[in-house]
Amino acid sequence: MEPEEALAALQKMGEGPDDGIELIEAALLLAARDRPHVALDRYRAYIDEITGLLKQRLDTGDEEPVTALIRTLADDHGYRGDQRNYDDPQNANMIRVIDRRRGLPVALGILYIGVARRAGLPASGLNFPSHFLISVDSAGTRHVLDPFYHGRRLEAGQMRDIVRKVAQVPDLLPEFYAPVEDRAVLLRLQNNVKIRAVQNGQMKRAAQVLEAMVALAPSHGESWRELGLLRAQAGELRGGVEALERSLALPGDEVERHRTAILLQQLRSSMN
């Protein structure tokens, strides 16, 4: 799939409601932007195969549903976090995550959520800081899973340890248990890619990532603002102005909006 084709498909998703986004398909489209000559059909077929295996387990009733999900993804297919090369860009590319069976917490979480839902298990990402976790509902019980560490189930004490060590937060807050929209999960995935591109001085790459982010989430003003800044830094003044105008047309932090308005005025002046 060519990058332009993938971007068009993401834009179509972005124009629709959040519940119209299919997480794994969206993640594959995002991955295809970086791997344009890789056919996605075999990855789609593979996801169907995994889902079929999970459904078989659920139909037999021999295992508790969440255990069946963990066994299917972590035990049978070997998905786990890449602890050795955490910052490797491949860990955020769904195509390479499937190839390597390794990934970032959010990339693995997308697989867990997507496969669980396809098999009939309600699942979602959690608004948990720094380290992405998911919740899966089974028989009226909510289970919190950590896909990065073999899909282990977490109790409150373990979650508290994570926020203290990783997020530098003293204790659990109620909002950490709140589900997040699928669009926000995908933005979190892409934000990992964007941050690493910026850290490596790959500004053109970062702008391409942001283009996919605004395609998928056209009402996310912060992404438009960042895209405008990167375009302006690259000398693409007209593109920078257009992105900043989109940013100002959307709700956002008033301080940032004021700064954006000043920058927009400066860019317009330099174009005259």
What's the average pLDDT block by block, 10 residues per block, for the chain (272 residues)?
Answer: 93 92 97 93 98 96 95 97 95 98 98 98 96 95 97 96 90 94 97 94 94 96 95 91 95 90 91 77
Three-class secondary structure of residue 152 per DSSP:
strand
Tokens of 226: 């960042």
What element of type H or E holds 229?
Answer: helix 221-233
Tokens of 165: 């060590």
250: left (phi over 0), alpha (psi -120 to 50) or beta: beta
Cα distances (Å, whole numbers) of residue 177 to 54, 153, 188: 26, 14, 17
* pTM for the full predicted model: 0.94
Identify residue 108 by its one-letter amino acid code.
Answer: L
Tokens of 151: 């899909």
Is residue 208 within 8 A of residue 196, CB to CB? The reply is: no
Residue holding tokens 């070997």? Answer: 78
Three-class secondary structure of residue 59 per DSSP:
helix
Give residue 235's pLDDT.
87
Tokens of 182: 């699928």
Cα distances (Å, whole numbers) of residue 43 to 29, 95, 128: 11, 7, 29
Identify residue 75 by its one-letter amino acid code.
Answer: D
Give residue 151's pLDDT.
97
Give residue 20's pLDDT.
87
Give residue 227's pLDDT.
96
